[in-house]
């Protein structure tokens, strides 16, 4: 089931769109099913769960940290994480840089922009992100490869589209100058709108693995 679902989803995606299969709360067996049809990009939002799965599952899996990340937990994922999606403060970036240096690696990250009109979502404003890009050389062990955003949780497609297009506009403005290549937006219920708005990385969980409890 999971294998078929992921193949079907992948076939329908444009070539340049990367699918991150969000496996949070799901057992290793579910990930193994996706892995067995060739899938390698998986996303988790809890550090402890991510580390445990990474230890138990094949080491060619590319692990994406997709949720809000606490600074004191960066050290646990720094040795192996493939991409950190939700960098939402300069203090977090500073810590990732420090742990990158300790592990002798440059860690790829996405800057989370606050695009949702609802107030609860994490992220930088446009101006804050701009300032961060300007100070990028302070973080030699971090590579900012793109942007990430989450739309408001709503049924209103026009609203979602507007938020995704806002993020896409920032991305296109900065892409060449800041050497960005990843625009991470879109989840199970809004990924077609995200792709239509220019996303090239979607984070899909429930549509692949079924509902979470
Ligand atoms: C859980 C989660 C997803 C996936 O959500 P689904 O609706 O199950 O596709 C995507 N992005 C983030 C940041 C998440 O926490």
Task: For residue range 150-193, list pLDDT tens digits in order.
Answer: 998 889 999 999 999 999 999 999 999 999 999 999 999 999 99
As for ligand 1, residues whose beta carbon falls within 6 Å of it are: 22, 24, 45, 66-67, 187-189, 203-207
pLDDT of residue 119: 65
The answer to whether the beta carbons of residues 153 and 118 sit under 8 Å apart is yes
Q: Ligand 1 mean position to 203 CA, how many Å?
A: 6
List the alpha helices (DSSP H) in 82-156.
Answer: 90-102, 126-134
pTM of the model: 0.96
The answer to whether the beta carbons of residues 148 and 85 sit under 8 Å apart is yes
Residue 116's nearest CA partner among 185, 180, 60 is: 185
Q: What are the pLDDT digits (tens) for 70-84?
A: 999 999 999 999 999
Kindly report the average pLDDT of the chain as a whole number. 95
Ligand 1, residue 66: give the atom nearest the CA.
Answer: 13
């Amino acid at each position: 089931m999971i294998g078929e679902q992921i193949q079907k989803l992948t076939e329908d995606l444009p070539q340049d769109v990367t699918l991150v299969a969000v496996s949070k709360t799901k057992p290793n067996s579910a990930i193994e099913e996706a892995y067995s049809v060739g899938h390698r990009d998986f996303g988790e939002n809890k550090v402890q769960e991510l580390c445990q799965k990474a230890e138990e599952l094949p080491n060619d899996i590319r692990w994406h940290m997709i949720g809000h990340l606490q600074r004191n937990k960066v050290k646990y994922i720094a040795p192996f994480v493939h991409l950190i999606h939700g960098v939402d403060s300069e203090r977090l970036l500073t810590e990732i840089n420090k742990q990158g240096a300790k592990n002798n690696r440059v860690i790829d990250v996405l800057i989370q922009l606050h695009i949702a009109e609802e107030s609860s979502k994490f992220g930088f404003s446009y101006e804050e992100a701009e300032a961060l890009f300007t100070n990028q050389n302070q973080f030699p062990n971090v590579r900012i490869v793109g942007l990430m955003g989450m739309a408001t949780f709503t049924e209103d497609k026009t609203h979602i589209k507007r938020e995704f297009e806002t993020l896409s506009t920032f991305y296109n403005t900065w892409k060449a100058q800041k050497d960005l290549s990843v625009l991470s937006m879109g989840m199970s219920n809004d990924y077609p709108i995200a792709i239509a708005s220019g996303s090239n990385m979607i984070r899909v969980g429930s549509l692949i693995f079924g509902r979470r409890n």
